[in-house]
Amino acid sequence: MRKDQLIRALVSKARARQPVPAAAMRPKLAPARLPATEVTPVPSRDEAVALRIQEARERLAKAKILSTRPESGRQAASMRDRIVVMVRGPHWLHAFWEVTSASITRAQAALGQEWHGARPTLRVLQLENALQASPSERVVRSIEVHGGVKNWFIDVREPFRCRVEIGYLTPHGRFHSLARSNAVSVPGSSQTDTLDTHWGDIAADCEKIYSMSGGFSPEHSSTELQELFEEKLRRPLGPPALRQSRGDGEPEAGESSDFQIEVDAEMIVYGVTQPGAYVTLQGEPVKVRPDGTFRVRVDLPNKRQVLPIIASNPNGVERQTVVIAVERNTKTMEAVGRDVADV
């Protein structure tokens, strides 16, 4: 066989041979077993929306319930519906309340279908006269509150006499009251605000807050106000009670006593004028601050007196006089003893 014939024979034999697939040339391996995993089902879109709606409804229902838990050391059976309002200064009132679960159930039954749209609300009622239980009241503010809290600060814009009540207000204006507070008088701007919420922080000013809230007033005192202060501070308020037994140094009836009280008084005169002005009070120069304000403490003796205040502008061309007439009349009443049977 010639050379060219040999080449053609090899080419024909190579073309006739079938190609072997690459996969067939690889060694066969046993199939690997994957570990079994738990497949968490993915909620559908409608199920996720329904879940969010349910969570929102639960939050709204929780915010709507005004019932409170008993304080530490108190039993749930001793709780009752009450709201107490305290004066914390010329610009703030502080309301504290306790509401039982039974009252929420009664409110839900009384409002019926309106319960679903009702909102927990604090209402500020202005009293038109000085009577404690006056029917002449008008709503001046409605403040929406929420469950989970039992106190609220209410800002005040001007001095007035008022009380606060807590309840549920429907979209149609119907109000279901749960509790009404004591009546208080907001003082003038000469007082200062105390906005601490922890009772331990206001212990030093408790007598002042109790007094501003009407605690020492015989006409407008509130039993609930006194109970709240004594529960929180764990001590009685007001003058000390007469001891139940003698033998502790108190004089018997008819014996002389060294108990006395001396009272004096001062008066503060303050005002404002042009900065740099010259001011005198009863002929004595008064220090004027850079902003034109001045403040002087004056003795107030037990008599009538006239206090002329004269101000001159910086160049001395203009002068204005203001006269304050004031009288002090102090009387010392006869000492009165109390018997144990009167306490």
Which CA distances in Å does 155 have to 120, 138, 159, 202, 211?
Answer: 18, 18, 11, 19, 19
279 and 212 in one domain? no
Residue 41 resides in a domain = no
* C-beta pairs of 203-210 under 8 Å, 24+ apart in sequence: 203/233, 206/233, 206/237, 207/237, 209/86, 209/87, 209/88, 210/86, 210/237
Tell which phi-psi region holds residue 148, choosing left (phi > 0), alpha (psi between -120 and 50) or beta. left
User: Are 200 and 132 within one domain?
Assistant: yes
Looking up tokens 């003795």 gives 299
Whether 235 and 271 share a structural domain: no
* CATH number, position 280: 2.60.40
Residues 90 and 228 in one domain: yes
Q: Do 220 and 315 reside in the same domain of the chain? A: no
Give residue 72's domain range: 59-239
In a domain, 31, yes or no: no
Helices (H), the chain: 3-16, 22-25, 45-64, 101-111, 206-212, 223-233
Last residue of a domain, one of 239, 255, 284: 239
- In angstroms, the CA 137 to CA 132 distance is 11
- Domain for residue 159, yes or no? yes
In a domain, 178, yes or no: yes
- Tens of pLDDT along the chain (343 residues)? 676 777 777 777 777 765 655 555 555 555 556 565 565 666 677 777 777 777 777 777 777 888 877 665 556 556 789 898 888 878 888 898 889 989 999 999 999 999 988 999 999 999 876 554 445 889 999 999 988 888 899 988 888 888 899 999 999 999 999 999 888 888 766 555 555 555 555 555 666 666 666 665 655 556 777 677 666 666 666 555 544 444 444 555 555 567 788 888 888 999 999 999 999 998 889 999 999 999 999 888 889 999 999 999 888 888 999 999 999 998 888 777 655 455 4
Domain end among 202, 221, 239: 239
pLDDT computed for residue 246 by the predictor: 44
HSE, side-chain direction, 13 A CA sphere, residue 262: 1
**Is position 205 within any domain?**
yes
According to DSSP, the residues that pair with 93 across neighbouring strands are 87, 154
User: Do 233 and 302 fall into the same domain?
Assistant: no
Tally the domains of the chain.
Answer: 2
Q: Which two structure tokens, joined as six digits, stand for 325?
A: 């007439």
Overall size of the chain counted in residues = 343
Distance in angstroms (rounded) separating the CA atoms of residues 197 and 94: 9
